[in-house]
């Protein structure tokens, strides 16, 4: 495993992608979650999204949440926006990092924001100019990068075209989102390899959902190609709107647990993160899918049952 990166930079997306796919929780619970996460050592947190409250009521209090948290200087907080209007709200609220999202699948993009992928890319060009005009950074997230719930597989050529337009317009990085959990390690290797060949100088972040159980395998495939930026959600918060009952994002503590044991540093305190995951589970009121939350770190020891003591001869 010596060819793996020495360290990765995890972006915690539980407060946004996770909570967006859960029943709404009170503002105070969101603030508590964000503050708990801020003290785990994680350096990037996607805190909120600025979307139409009628479309996503879970994020209706974005401004309030953002204004209420005690921000930690070592954490870079970001907001996700679907369009220029959302970007204006995020920038007005004081975010210096935003993520604009566009779907590689035209059908998915129309279902989400009622416009074609090309129209969204035009809007994102204006959004990038607005962000850069006040010194903010903007990553462009290409969602449904490994498949669409309506169109099925999305061709690599198409994903690269969408990403390429964003890069040409000045995106400060690209993230590929496996919105529907359709990625497998071979598909990760193919898309990341093609992206790297086409855009060797553009920062790449990856966002996997564990819908079909291949989330961490996908991470390992990407690590072997030198990718160092990954999204994950505490406890595996969230879900998949196209597969009721399915898992959400890869769980942050499972990601940290796996890579740290392979010698890849994250800067995140695993026991502290597990504690936050347990609190997140209580906040949403149902069991979260994270296996590491259930089992704890691999070095956790159990007390020897009394019936076995002294029977070692
Ligand atoms: Zn997602």
Query: Which domains, and CATH codes, for the chain?
Result: 10-303 (3.20.20.70)
Relative to beta strand 44-49, strand 204-208 is unpaired
Other CB atoms within a 10 A radius of the CB of residue 310 amount to 7
**pLDDT-derived band at 299, boundaries 50, 70, 90:** confident
Catalytically active residues, by annotation: 240
pLDDT tens digits, one per residue of 168-193: 999 999 999 999 999 999 999 999 99
Tokens of 26: 């009170």
Burial of 41 (0-12, 13-18, 19+ CB in 10 A): middle
Q: Give every CB contact of residue 54 below 8 A, 6+ residues apart in sequence.
A: none
pLDDT digits (tens, 9 = 90+) for 106-165: 999 999 999 999 999 999 999 999 999 999 999 999 999 999 999 999 999 999 999 999
Task: Calculate how far, in angstroms, residue 197's C-alpha sits from the geometric centre of ligand 1.
Answer: 25
* Cα(179) to centroid(ligand 1), Å: 5
Q: Compute the average pLDDT of residues 296-308.
A: 88
Q: Which of 44, 14, 66, 6 is nearest to 232 (CA)?
A: 14
> DSSP labels for 35-57?
HHHHTTT--EEEEEE---TTT-G
Look at residue 195 and tell me whether its pLDDT is greater than 90.
Answer: yes
Task: Collapse the DSSP code of 102 into the 3-class scheme (helix H, G, I; strand E, B; otherwise coil) and give the result.
Answer: strand
Residue 302: predicted pLDDT? 86
Which residues on adjacent β-strands are paired with residue 97?
137
User: Which pLDDT score is estimated for 141?
Assistant: 98
Distance from residue 302's CA to the centre of ligand 1 (Å): 36
Q: What is the pLDDT of residues 29-81, one digit of tens each?
A: 999 999 999 999 999 999 999 999 998 999 999 999 999 999 999 999 999 99
Q: Which DSSP state fits 16?
A: I
Res 200 pLDDT > 70: yes
- pLDDT higher than 90, residue 1: no
Instruction: Give me the pLDDT at residue 312, please.
Output: 60
pLDDT at 287 > cutoff 70: yes
pLDDT at 239 over 90: no
Q: Residue 308 Cα, ligand 1 centroid: separation in angstroms?
A: 47
Provide mean pLDDT across the span 275-289: 97
Residue 12 CA to residue 92 CA, distance in Å, equals 23
Q: Which of 14-23, 216-225, 299-308 has the lowest mean pLDDT?
A: 299-308
The chain-wide mean pLDDT, for the chain, equals: 95
User: Is there a contact between 125 and 84 (Cβ–Cβ < 8 Å)?
Assistant: no
Question: What gap in Å lies between CA 305 and CA 312, rounded to an integer?
Answer: 13
Percent of the chain exceeding pLDDT 90 equals 89
Number of residues assigned to the chain: 313
Closest listed residue to residue 175, CA positions, set 147, 146, 143: 143
d(CA 266, CA 257): 10
Are the beta carbons of 272 and 39 closer than 8 angstroms? yes
233 CA to centre of ligand 1 in angstroms: 9
Give, to the nearest 10 degrees, the angle between helix 117-133 and helix 84-92: 20
* Residue 134: how many other CB atoms lie within 10 Å: 9
| Per-residue pLDDT band at 313 (split at 50, 70, 90) | low
Interval between CA 306 and ligand 1 midpoint (Å): 46
Report the distance separating Cα 136 and Cα 266, nearest Å. Answer: 25
């Amino acid at each position: 495993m010596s060819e793996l990166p020495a360290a990765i930079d995890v972006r915690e997306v539980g407060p946004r992608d996770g909570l967006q796919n859960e029943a709404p929780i009170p503002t105070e619970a969101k603030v508590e979650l964000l503050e708990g996460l801020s003290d785990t050592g994680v350096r990037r947190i996607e805190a909120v999204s600025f979307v139409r409250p009628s479309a996503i009521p879970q994020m209706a209090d974005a401004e309030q949440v953002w204004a209420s948290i005690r921000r930690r200087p070592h954490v870079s907080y970001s907001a996700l926006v679907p369009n220029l209007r959302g970007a204006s709200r995020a920038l007005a609220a004081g975010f210096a990092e935003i993520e604009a999202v566009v779907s590689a699948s035209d059908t998915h993009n129309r279902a989400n924001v009622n416009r074609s992928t090309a129209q969204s890319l035009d809007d994102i060009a204006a959004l990038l100019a607005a962000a850069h005009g006040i010194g903010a950074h903007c990553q462009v997230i290409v969602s449904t990068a490994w498949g669409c719930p309506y169109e099925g597989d999305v061709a690599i050529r198409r994903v690269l075209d969408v990403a390429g337009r964003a890069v040409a317009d000045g995106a400060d990085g690209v993230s590929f989102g496996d919105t529907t959990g359709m990625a497998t390690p071979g598909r990760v290797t193919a898309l990341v390899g093609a992206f790297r060949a086409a855009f060797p100088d553009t920062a790449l972040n990856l966002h996997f959902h564990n819908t079909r159980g291949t989330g961490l395998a996908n991470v390992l495939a990407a690590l072997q190609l030198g990718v160092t930026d990954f999204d994950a959600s505490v406890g595996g918060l969230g879900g998949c709107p196209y597969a009721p009952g399915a898992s959400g994002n890869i769980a942050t503590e499972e990601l940290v647990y796996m890579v740290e044991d392979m010698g890849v540093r994250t800067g995140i305190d695993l026991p502290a993160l597990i504690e936050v995951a347990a609190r997140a589970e209580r906040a949403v009121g149902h069991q979260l899918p994270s296996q590491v939350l259930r089992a704890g770190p691999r070095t956790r020891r159990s007390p020897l049952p009394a019936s076995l003591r002294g029977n070692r001869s």
